């Protein structure tokens, strides 16, 4: 993967979450209407918990924040696996964010393809882009040990998607339906930040950044925002197999 990204190495997962919360605050300060695509996962959860605390949340103008989701499991909003439920419990219950500024994926709509189409309509309407790609101010992403990001899994037909913003996919690897933003809209983000922590991510992080370009095998390699910025916020354990020039950027 070409070196068209920045890597910020933190000491541990706690500092990754802190750096992500600081990034949220910084990007919010730069934006007028601040629209964010959120990720699921344990590190994002802790980021959201930090943003719910006064020392972080008091620095956010919540009146201009609008939240979307980068992907979602096709489960009811109250289901333990729901990314929306996780975010609600970690963040939404604790901050003054208007309900009409929160846009979860509509998993109550059936079948999954119809839910994806409904979310695409909502996104286009919100951004006022019936034909052009919407541009999120901030996109948070994770990285799976198999190289997936959002719900773009290895060898999925969605990896070749060029027109839809949102799609549904039955992921055999996890035996479940997922809804996901597609690579074109993720790549239109102004700031796209991967949050990666843990020694179990070291091999795949090294392969995504330094390995042969094969996004069918490593979907995270599809994420190359233009003209936006790409930032990897990783901990030392995940960065263990990166080169010295990468790891020298430790926070």
Report whether 224 contacts 149 (CB < 8 A).
no
Q: Is 163 helix (H, G, I), strand (E, B) or coil?
A: coil
The closest alpha carbon to 182, from 202, 163, 201, 203, belongs to: 163
Which residues make beta-bridge pairs with 147?
none
* Residue ranges of domains in the chain: 6-134+146-222
Q: What is the dihedral of CA 165, 166, 170, 174, to 10 degrees?
A: 100
The answer as to CATH 3.40.50.1360 being correct for domain 6-134+146-222 is yes
Report whether 204 contacts 146 (CB < 8 A).
yes
pLDDT at 248: 44
Q: Is 242 helix (H, G, I), strand (E, B) or coil?
A: coil
pLDDT per residue as tens digits for the range 4-58: 899 999 999 999 999 999 999 999 999 999 999 999 999 999 999 999 999 999 9
Gap between the Cα atoms of 90 and 115, Å rounded: 25
Distance of CA 170 to the CA centre of its chain: 19
Q: Model-level pTM? A: 0.95
Regions of the chain with pLDDT less than 50:
1-2, 248-251
Tokens 């950044």 correspond to what residue? 209
């Amino acid at each position: 993967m070409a070196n068209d990204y920045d890597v910020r190495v933190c000491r541990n997962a706690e500092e990754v979450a802190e750096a992500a919360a600081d990034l949220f605050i910084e990007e919010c300060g730069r934006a007028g209407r601040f629209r964010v695509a959120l990720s699921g996962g344990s590190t994002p959860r802790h980021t959201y918990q930090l943003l719910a605390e006064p020392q972080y949340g008091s620095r956010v103008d919540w009146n201009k924040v609008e939240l979307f989701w980068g992907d979602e499991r096709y489960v009811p909003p109250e289901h333990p696996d729901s990314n929306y439920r996780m975010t609600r419990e970690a963040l939404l219950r604790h901050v003054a964010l208007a309900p009409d500024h929160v846009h979860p994926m509509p998993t109550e709509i059936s079948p999954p393809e119809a839910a994806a189409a409904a979310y695409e309509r909502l996104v286009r309407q919100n951004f006022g882009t019936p034909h052009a790609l919407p541009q999120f101010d901030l996109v948070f992403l994770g990285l799976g040990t198999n190289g997936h990001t959002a719900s773009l899994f290895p060898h999925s037909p969605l990896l070749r998607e060029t027109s839809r913003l949102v799609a549904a996919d039955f992921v055999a690897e996890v035996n479940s339906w997922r809804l996901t933003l597609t690579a074109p809209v993720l790549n239109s983000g102004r700031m796209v930040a991967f949050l990666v922590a843990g020694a179990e991510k070291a091999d795949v992080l090294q392969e995504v950044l330094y390995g042969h370009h094969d996004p069918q095998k490593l979907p995270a390699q599809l994420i190359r925002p233009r003209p936006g910025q790409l930032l990897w916020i990783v901990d030392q354990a995940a960065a263990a197999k990166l080169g010295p020039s990468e790891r020298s950027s430790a926070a």
